[in-house]
Amino acid sequence: MILSPVTVYDLSGRWSVSTSEQKVFHMTLPGTLDEYNIGLGELDVDAGEKRDIRLEAEVNPLDPNFDIIASDYADAAFELDRKEPIRTRFTRRHAYCGEARIYRLFTFEEHPGKRLFLEIERARDLRLFIDGEEIPYYEEPTLVSPAVFEVTGKIGGSHLLTIISSNDYVDEFKEEFLASNMASDDTQTNWNGLLGYVRLREENETFLSDIQLTISENREMTVTLEITSTKEATHSLSISANALENGIDREIMTAEGVKTLSITGLKLKASAKRWDENEGNLHELRVFLDKKLQTVDFGIRDFSVSSEGLLQLNGRRIFLRGETNEAVFPETGYLPTDIGTWEKIFKCYRSYGVNFVYFHGCCPTDAAFTAADGLGMLLCPEISISHSVSTLTSKNLRLYYKNECDAILRNYGSHPSFVMLGLGQEKKEREDFSQAVLDAYLTVLSKKDPTKLYITAGRIFTGKGVGARMAKIRFFAGQHEFPPDFREIDLFSGFCLPENLCVMKETAEQQKLLPYWDKYAAAGGGQALTLYRRDAENAYREDRFSGIVLSGLQDMPGFGTHLYGMLNSHLVPKHYDYSDARKFAAFFGPVVPMAVFSAPVYEAGETITARVSLSNFGKSPVKGALSYTVTLCEKTVEQAFEASEYPEGSVSTVGTLTVPGEILKALPDGECGLLSVTLRFGILENRYDVPIVPAVSPKKPAGITECSYPDESIFLALGQGNDVLLMPKTPAKAADLPMTGVDLHHPLLSKLPLQPGNSLFFERLLTQEPAPLDRKTRIPLFRVSFEDGSKIHGYFAEFRCRNGNVFLSTIPLRAHQDKPEGRALLAAIYDYMTSLDFSPSCEIRPDDLKQTIISLEEKALG
């Protein structure tokens, strides 16, 4: 555990920095070179005088009158060149890779009989020099643990402190490490600098260097002390806590070096409150060594897997509703080191129903665990090597793997919020991958800290040995991308530029889509919200499941620009109704009323039923009557099930919802409608919109030619002024809903039972790929590629050709006549093509139409 030292001397403030270019700047620590605009921009900059101004700022950094910092030249030095912008992620204003020399003059008076340690909370690869003499590490650091150097006897008086910080790793696994979120420019960035505390810690000759706490299932605490001493001596030791039945007072002997002392069997009071989900019940442990006090906050909790393979917290079943934190911090490029920021982040997550945060490819700072302790949020850090195919086949890599696991457990393991440790969720396996090595190490970890569960390659191991019991959690769920909220561009004022978003916006403007973008974004986000609800409810109902972890409520700008969040990358709700936290928490909370309909679309005259259940993964049974409201064409009927008690830790069947016949009579003959079903349990609500279509058997009207390929006879018919319904053989593809959605203003779709922009009505019909089409084409159902916004794909399109008109559908409607929506859609197309509204504005030449179909068919044939 990272202990709070009694006596520290703060070394934060103004330091000098020189880079491999031999140029000198000033920066304030803690901080990174990015924050002080040190390094070249990732986009091209002016190669003329403006760059020279910044790079030739060579003055004596130790001169007290020196008052030039790199940011003074930022505006003059940096100019965008968007010929080759980075499209897959945000763009760093200034990036530096290599060694940076960070130094300052320091005057200090050492005290006799004291030991001094220079500590840096978070850094990259460091070397410390005092007046040119290199100081070895006191503790071998990792990228997730503090860097510690002992400087006793070396720092009295005035000295030049020099820290060489390098973010250019020479290890054999550099590529794998840079692919993780701990150092990837796609997310946290491969920053260079010193973060968190930068300080001198003063200790007695004998001091507590570590305190570890474990609490067993029978509420007994073990306190493991690490005592470091320069000599053999007798010392007084006292341990107490209000949560303990009895403390201890004893004398202990120490020898030169490090002594580990374990005190077992400390009984906790029956009245001591447990730490729990959303309950940060903490207790203070007080440890006196020779009257010098160290305090540690702890929580009483048990996190385990039941004999049925279900996760349990404090002996009851818990369902994890998780968010994946990808270390996206667009204003700094690094994980925060202060408690207040983490509290704000976790409270934001919690407002959306989240109770568990999975840190993918990274381990947060101690402040994150401390904030989560106080809020009752469950955390799972992960080691910083993801995507590795050789994690356990390379000796050096195995050593790094082990050292980082050990460092994470040592520094953060006593936090009650730390319930799992990820050992590489996306670890790739190959023939020489040694599962036996991994299993052996898991056994070691389980013995070292049995209060944690361990995750690797999607498997969750208990703390009681490998293979004993495993729980099931669905990771990386809900990757439903939709158009961005361009308002976020105005929020960027830190280390990076949103060039990827700017490219999308510029392309949308060039293609004259910008006036409609809010409609597309709102429709796509609303549809994504519905799909997130489906993901969550399916997970609740899944037998023996213990959680669902979303890919992100927050947009992830990296690894291809993944925009699937209710929140933008700044953790700000997007500017649309779908991002309301209350709407998301309605189905992502501990208690959720749910309905399963027998079909996604119904025909008028059908009996509409749904199985209703209540998911209760709260802390206690809930009582009440679940009711529902059914509304169609402004006619409403309310019904209620009998009141009942629903036990915690389960999904209970409530009954069968049946839509009253009088409701369906409210729908005029031949028309479509949306049946709204709202479930209520107390203050909780969950709403479903069910499309209703008329019972039809579509018949092709006279004057319409239907075909799959435009041959000469088709062009002859078009020349005679006939209309053609063209349904080519396009490549098969799983349903890929067009998040930019449905044009409800188009006459074809205006009468179908669709929510604004919502294409779920089409889900079972979209079994083929859409066609890439010119934007001038009038397309009632389409999507825009998000990567750069330059491509439009249409499921429907219409053209003038010769003297007739062509309606193109890449949906094979003849193959879907067994579905109500398939019949209704084909009938709607026939009605539209025979109406005066069918008057395409875009003209296509016969050869171009033929080539479009040939390209689609060639793609279909592979």
Instruction: Determine the Cα–Cα distance for residues 358 and 511; give it in Å rounded to an integer.
Output: 39
For 13-17, which contacts have Cβ atoms below 8 Å and span 24 or more sequence positions?
14/104, 15/102, 15/103, 15/104, 16/61, 16/62, 16/102, 16/103, 16/104, 17/61, 17/100, 17/101, 17/102, 17/103
Residue 170 reports pLDDT greater than 80: no
Instruction: Determine the Cα–Cα distance for residues 706 and 830; give it in Å rounded to an integer.
Output: 11
Q: Across the chain, what does the average pLDDT equal?
A: 86
Instruction: Kindly indicate the confidence band of residue 307, based on its pLDDT and cuts at 50, 70 and 90.
Output: confident
Residue 464 reports pLDDT greater than 70: no
207 versus 49: the higher-pLDDT residue is 207
Q: In one letter, which amino acid is 210?
A: D
141 versus 701: the higher-pLDDT residue is 701
Instruction: Kindly indicate the confidence band of residue 420, based on its pLDDT and cuts at 50, 70 and 90.
Output: very high
The two tokens of residue 308 are: 């049925």
**Span 309-321, pLDDT tens digits:** 899 999 999 999 9
Query: In terms of DSSP bridges, do strands 303-305 and 311-313 run parallel, antiparallel, or are they unpaired?
Result: antiparallel
In this prediction, residue 472 carries a pLDDT of 86
Q: What is the mean pLDDT of residues 628-647?
A: 94
Residue from 325, 517, 402, 492 nearest 140 by CA: 402
Q: What interhelical angle do 395-412 and 435-448 show, nearest 10? A: 20
Q: What is the mean pLDDT of residues 493-509?
A: 89
Q: What is the mean pLDDT of residues 527-553?
A: 92
The two tokens of residue 534 are: 């489906």
Say if residues 752 and 761 touch (Cβ distance below 8 Å): yes
In sequence order, what E strands does 660-774 have? Answer: 673-681, 684-693, 704-707, 723-726, 771-772
In this prediction, residue 40 carries a pLDDT of 78
Residue 253 reports pLDDT greater than 70: yes
Instruction: Kindly indicate the confidence band of residue 461, based on its pLDDT and cuts at 50, 70 and 90.
Output: low
**Span 339-374, pLDDT tens digits:** 999 999 999 999 999 999 999 989 999 999 999 999
Q: What is the mean pLDDT of residues 821-830?
A: 96
Q: What is the mean pLDDT of residues 530-552?
A: 92
Residue 91 reports pLDDT greater than 80: yes
Instruction: Determine the Cα–Cα distance for residues 108 and 156; give it in Å rounded to an integer.
Output: 5
Say if residues 121 and 195 touch (Cβ distance below 8 Å): yes
Q: What interhelical angle do 366-375 and 395-412 show, nearest 10? A: 50
Q: What is the mean pLDDT of residues 435-443?
A: 72
Say if residues 812 and 796 touch (Cβ distance below 8 Å): no
Phi-psi region of 718 (alpha: psi -120 to 50; beta: other; left: phi over 0): alpha
In this prediction, residue 147 carries a pLDDT of 95
61 versus 126: the higher-pLDDT residue is 126
**Span 194-214, pLDDT tens digits:** 999 999 999 999 999 999 999
CA dihedral 713, 714, 719, 725 (to 10 degrees): 160
Q: What is the mean pLDDT of residues 615-626?
A: 97
Residue 63 reports pLDDT greater than 50: no
| DSSP structure class, residue 238 | E
Assign 804 to helix, strand or coil: strand
Residue 668 reports pLDDT greater than 80: yes
Helix (H) or strand (E) holding 501: helix 499-510
Instruction: Determine the Cα–Cα distance for residues 155 and 407; give it in Å rounded to an integer.
Output: 28
Q: What is the mean pLDDT of residues 727-745?
A: 72
Residue from 764, 825, 602 nearest 693 by CA: 602
Instruction: Determine the Cα–Cα distance for residues 839 and 855; give it in Å rounded to an integer.
Output: 26
Phi, psi of 151 (to 5 degrees): -120, 20
Under 8 Å CB-to-CB from 170, ≥6 apart: which residues? none
392 versus 34: the higher-pLDDT residue is 34
In this prediction, residue 428 carries a pLDDT of 52
Q: How far is CA 584 from CA 163, 187, 348, 573, in A?
A: 47, 25, 12, 12
Residue 548 reports pLDDT greater than 80: yes
In this prediction, residue 788 carries a pLDDT of 60
Residue 71 reports pLDDT greater than 80: no
Order across the sheet with 782-784: list the strands. 771-772, 792-794, 782-784
